[in-house]
Amino acid sequence: MVSAVTSRGGEHASALRSFLKRAAQFVVVLVTTLLGLIAVTFFIGRVVPIDPVIAIVGDRAPPQVYERARAELGLDKPLIEQFAIYVKKAVTGDFGNSVLTTNPVMTDIANVFPATLELATLGTIIGTLIGIPLGVLAAVRRGTLIDQVVRFLGLVGYSIPIFWLGLMGLLFFYAKLGWVAGPGRIDVTYSYLYTPVTGIVLIDTLLQGQMDAFWDAVSHVLLPACLLGYFSLAYISRMTRSFMLNELAQEYVIAARVKGLSEFRVIWRHALRNAAVPLITVIALSYANLLEGSVLTETVFAWPGLGQYITNSLQNADMNAVLGGTIVIGTVFVLLNLVSDLLYRLLDPRTR
């Protein structure tokens, strides 16, 4: 009896040590990756041919004003010392003030990031809900016309620049047919009918019962979200097809068919269930790509998100805003990647 209790206690202690070891590894990887991201972003910001001092004081400022502003920004210090100061501030979320808005960069990012989050989330939902069934159908009907059509749609989604698709979409669905609203997030007429709470217009207008404003926001977000969804669909459908082809070739699928299970049950309850584990990583990476890669879409549709904020800041030599936005996007990408890896381990015992 004592030996059994001792054995169970040893197993619990071993499991605890294993968990603490994995947690420590996770923290080390996270910290190292984020420090590397900050370092790369910082040094790129120092080598680009843009002088942040001139962006602040102007190119006609007297030399003494220029030097004083340069000293206030800490640019007169050695590069290593500048980096140390930058890291110390960055870990607390202090990226300085924006030249364009004069607000703290993190305040600006907090105001514009919900718009990017709204657009990328809708795009991922559309891409997932359509891409997975298309990928499954292509794998089941491998070599048929359906398979060729799905693969062609994926190829087009990868090949055609998204900004061109955005312009063509505006020309056809907005200018010609009038099915959707034009650029922007919501018409000025409705922008004063609700109070921003979450920063996501669809949620705020719906919760506050402003249905006219809600449907106007839906009309504005529909086209850019569908374009990002198509971009996500191209990736998700291709990966789903690949995973399903691998699962359909496994022995358990053959055994299930021999036992007389219906084709629907074999495909959707067995094969897709096993393929869903790696698909989680694919969907998470697709979501991260939309969050960081929606710059062109936001520019074409005048969408007031983080991508457009970074683009405007870069055009006006506002390096504090550019570097701060880049680090935030990179951090989100890293965190989503690590979360997807953790979910993969939780759902698939073989990887533990």
**Pair 259, 174 in one domain:** yes
Q: Is residue 258 part of a domain?
A: yes
pLDDT of residue 19: 65
Nearest to 71 by CA among 83, 59, 80, 82: 82
Dihedral Cα 140, 146, 151, 152, nearest 10 deg: 180
pTM of the full structure:
0.80
Of 322 and 56, the one with more pLDDT: 322
**Pair 68, 147 in one domain:** no
Range of the domain at 305: 112-315
pLDDT of residue 143: 83
Instruction: Examine the fold and report which residue of 56, 90, 124 is the final residue of a domain before the chain moves on.
Output: 90
Q: Is residue 351 part of a domain?
A: no
Q: Which CATH number covers residue 287?
A: 1.10.3720.10
Q: Is residue 16 part of a domain?
A: no
Q: Which two tokens stand for residue 285?
A: 């990476």
Q: Is residue 218 part of a domain?
A: yes
**Pair 75, 196 in one domain:** no
Alpha-carbon span 319 to 75, nearest angstrom: 13
**Pair 160, 265 in one domain:** yes
**Pair 70, 193 in one domain:** no
Top-ranked range on mean pLDDT: pick from 52-56, 227-231, 310-314, 348-352: 227-231
**Pair 209, 284 in one domain:** yes
Residue 348 pLDDT greater than 70, yes or no: no
Tens-digit pLDDT profile for residues 27-37: 787 778 778 87
Q: Chain-wide mean pLDDT for the chain?
A: 82
**Pair 299, 193 in one domain:** yes
Residue 62 pLDDT greater than 90, yes or no: no
Of 318 and 243, the one with more pLDDT: 243
What is the pLDDT averaged over residues 122-132? 92
Q: Is residue 234 part of a domain?
A: yes
Q: Are 247 and 194 in contact (CB under 8 A)?
A: no
pLDDT of residue 342: 76
**Pair 193, 279 in one domain:** yes
Residues of the chain with pLDDT > 70, as a percent, come to: 91
What is the pLDDT averaged over residues 233-244? 90
pLDDT of residue 3: 54
pLDDT of residue 21: 78
Residue 349 pLDDT greater than 70, yes or no: no
Q: Are 329 and 292 in contact (CB under 8 A)?
A: yes
Tens-digit pLDDT profile for residues 253-262: 888 888 877 7
**Pair 69, 189 in one domain:** no
Q: Is residue 352 part of a domain?
A: no
Residue 129 pLDDT greater than 90, yes or no: yes
Q: Is residue 305 part of a domain?
A: yes
What is the pLDDT averaged over residues 299-325? 83
Tens-digit pLDDT profile for residues 321-336: 888 888 888 888 888 8
Q: Is residue 323 part of a domain?
A: no
Residue 80 pLDDT greater than 70, yes or no: yes
**Pair 159, 304 in one domain:** yes
Instruction: Examine the fold and report which residue of 60, 90, 120 is the final residue of a domain before the chain moves on.
Output: 90
**Pair 34, 118 in one domain:** no
Segment 243-248 long-range contacts (CB within 8 Å, at least 24 positions apart): 243/135, 243/275, 243/278, 243/279, 244/135, 244/136, 244/139, 244/140, 244/271, 244/272, 244/275, 245/139, 245/142, 246/275, 247/271, 247/272, 247/274, 247/275, 248/139, 248/140
**Pair 184, 235 in one domain:** yes
The total number of structural domains that make up the chain: 2
Q: Which two tokens stand for residue 201?
A: 């217009």
Which neighbouring-strand residues pair with 97? 104
Tens-digit pLDDT profile for residues 180-235: 888 888 888 888 888 888 888 899 898 888 888 899 999 999 999 999 999 889 88
Which neighbouring-strand residues pair with 104? 97
Residue 163 pLDDT greater than 70, yes or no: yes
